[in-house]
């Protein structure tokens, strides 16, 4: 059993436990459930923004603890202040050290927030809305095309956008009308090997009307330029900043370099 299989098995148990503790009707009573959501699509298409989806992540199955001391409000606020187009907040606790509370705290920021988790059930989508998320992640590797279509349609009914994540060409069939934003994960979720060239080759087969997002393994301005040249509008980056002692400063420096290069070119 690979790590993705282990995560999904655990997620099934976790979702059942959460359903038993709090009903959908209770989730709908959240102060955030009725808020007007922000559009990731609009933010990514805004030429005045960086296109960076800046992630708050404490640990990962492949790297272990990345940053166990960073403050979610401090870091996400710095991401927003320095030009992030969106925040990605991990809510998986066991494998990534995240929590629902992290996303709720990050909601002080007035830019789109992606709930980064392994969504397998409509209940988790209602949860996402109740904690203040604007976008959910659907991972093709752990869902059938029919499940993606159903879950994406449900998210849309709650005014949430969807980032569909692919990592190999077989998953292109998961793309549907309900998934306007398509991410290509440069890191294979089963082996955790990063291969940017393979991702770029695969991305050329994504329909032209979809907004493309590059995910994982992005560590330089050069990486972003390569992705831009291949039609990507979004760039999900987390570990590159979170591994630093001061993620806020690391992000500000990265964006400054990105803007300086854009000015020169």
Q: pLDDT by residue (tens digit) across 95-142?
A: 999 999 999 999 999 999 999 999 999 999 999 999 999 999 999 999
| 74 counts as catalytic | no
The residue annotated as part of the active site, out of 60, 67, 185, 199, is 185
Q: Quote the pLDDT of residue 92.
A: 97
The residue annotated as part of the active site, out of 165, 171, 180, 239, is 165
The residue annotated as part of the active site, out of 105, 116, 129, 149, is 116
- Is 3-264 in CATH node 2.60.40.1930? no
The residue annotated as part of the active site, out of 216, 239, 240, 248, is 216
Q: Quote the pLDDT of residue 189.
A: 66
pLDDT band at 254 (very low <50, low <70, confident <90, very high): very high
| 187: helix, strand or coil | strand
Q: How far apart are CA 29 and CA 24, in angstroms?
A: 9
| 57 counts as catalytic | yes
> CA torsion angle for 201, 207, 211, 212 (degrees, to 10)?
-10
Q: Which whole-number Å values give the CA distances from 47 to 123, 170, 185, 227, 249, in the listed order?
A: 35, 32, 23, 15, 23
| 21 counts as catalytic | no
Q: Quote the pLDDT of residue 264.
A: 61
Task: Kindly give, in sequence order, each residue whose CB lies less than 8 Å from that of residue 206, ignoring residues fewer than 6 positions away.
Answer: 166, 172, 175, 182, 184, 212
All structural domains of the chain with their residue ranges: 3-264
pLDDT above 60: residue 265: no
Q: How far apart are CA 229 and CA 10, in angstroms?
A: 39
The residue annotated as part of the active site, out of 11, 14, 55, 82, is 55
| Span between the terminal Cα atoms of the chain, in Å | 48
- Residue identified by tokens 């705290």 is 105
- What's the rounded mean pLDDT across residues 32-39? 97
Task: Kindly give, in sequence order, each residue whose CB lies less than 8 Å from that of residue 232, ignoring residues fewer than 6 positions away.
Answer: 51, 203, 212, 213, 214
Tokens found for residue 171: 């998953």
| 165 counts as catalytic | yes
This prediction's pTM: 0.95
Candidates 148, 145, 146; CA nearest to 119 is: 148
| 105 counts as catalytic | no
DSSP bridge partners of 232:
212
CB atoms within 10 A of CB 163: 26
| 147 counts as catalytic | no
- Residue identified by tokens 């992640």 is 137
CB neighbour burial string for 15-48, b if at least 16 within 10 angstroms, e if fewer? beeeeeeeeeeebeebebeeeebbebbebbeeee
Tokens found for residue 79: 């991401």
Per-chain mean pLDDT for the chain: 94
- Residue identified by tokens 């929590």 is 99
**pLDDT for 49-88, tens place per residue?**
999 999 999 999 888 999 999 999 999 999 999 999 999 9
| 116 counts as catalytic | yes
């Amino acid at each position: 059993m690979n790590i993705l299989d282990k995560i999904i098995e655990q997620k099934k148990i976790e979702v059942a436990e959460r359903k038993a503790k709090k009903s959908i009707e209770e989730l709908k009573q959240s102060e955030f459930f009725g808020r007007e959501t922000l559009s990731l699509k609009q933010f990514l298409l805004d030429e005045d923004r960086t296109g960076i989806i800046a992630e708050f992540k404490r640990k990962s199955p492949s790297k272990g603890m990345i940053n166990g001391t960073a403050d979610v409000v401090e870091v996400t606020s710095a991401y927003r202040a320095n030009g992030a187009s969106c925040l990605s907040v991990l809510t998986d606790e066991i494998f990534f050290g995240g929590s629902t509370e992290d996303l709720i705290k990050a909601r002080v920021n007035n830019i789109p927030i992606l709930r980064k988790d392994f969504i397998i059930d409509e209940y988790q989508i209602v949860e996402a809305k109740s904690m203040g998320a604007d976008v959910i992640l659907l991972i093709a590797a752990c869902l059938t095309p029919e499940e993606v279509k159903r879950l994406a349609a449900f998210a849309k009914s709650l005014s949430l956008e969807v980032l569909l994540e692919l990592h190999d060409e077989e998953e292109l069939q998961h793309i549907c009308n309900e998934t306007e934003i398509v991410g290509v994960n440069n890191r294979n979720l089963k082996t955790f090997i990063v291969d940017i060239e393979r991702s770029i080759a695969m991305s050329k087969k994504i329909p032209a009307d979809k907004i493309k997002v590059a995910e994982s393994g992005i560590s330089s301005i050069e990486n972003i330029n390569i992705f831009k040249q291949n039609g990507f509008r979004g760039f999900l980056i987390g570990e590159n900043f979170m591994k630093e002692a001061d993620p806020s400063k690391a992000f500000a420096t990265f964006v400054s370099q990105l803007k300086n290069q854009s000015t020169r070119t």
